[in-house]
């Protein structure tokens, strides 16, 4: 089944919650099933989908990964020189590579 989702810019927790709810339903998961996969209570999923701005970031990222949602960050400001952007991106990529940890099972 092809996803109805496309690249979107999220501006708040409510939009993130709605996106997660849509993807969960596309995958045919109940809130209880997603909660089970994440190791949380159903209530946590309910609050996340309602736009809880205080949801634990690590669990939010795990939920996105579990649902197959790709998240990306971008800088709204454009640097004056193209070369500057390339250098910044490569430095950020290096930081991310160093932060990667093996997935725990």
* Cα-trace Rg, the chain: 16
pTM over cut 0.75: no
pLDDT score of 80 more than 50: yes
User: What's the confidence (pLDDT) of residue 83?
Assistant: 46
* Mean pLDDT value across residues 58-78: 87
pLDDT of residue 103: 57
What is the pLDDT averaged over residues 90-103? 66
User: ∠ CA 88-94-98 to the nearest 5 degrees?
Assistant: 145
Q: What is the pLDDT of residue 7?
A: 76
Provide the pLDDT confidence category of residue 4 given band limits of 50, 70 and 90.
low
């Amino acid at each position: 089944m092809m996803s109805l989702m496309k690249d979107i810019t999220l501006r708040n927790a409510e939009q993130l919650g709605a996106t997660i709810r849509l993807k969960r339903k596309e995958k045919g998961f109940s809130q209880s099933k997603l909660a089970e996969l994440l190791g949380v209570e159903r209530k946590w999923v309910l609050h996340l989908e309602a736009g809880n701005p205080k949801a634990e970031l690590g669990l939010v990222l795990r939920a996105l990964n579990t649902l197959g949602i790709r998240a990306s960050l971008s800088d709204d400001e454009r640097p004056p020189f193209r070369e500057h952007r390339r250098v910044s991106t490569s430095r950020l990529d290096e930081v991310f590579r160093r932060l990667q940890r093996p997935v725990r099972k």
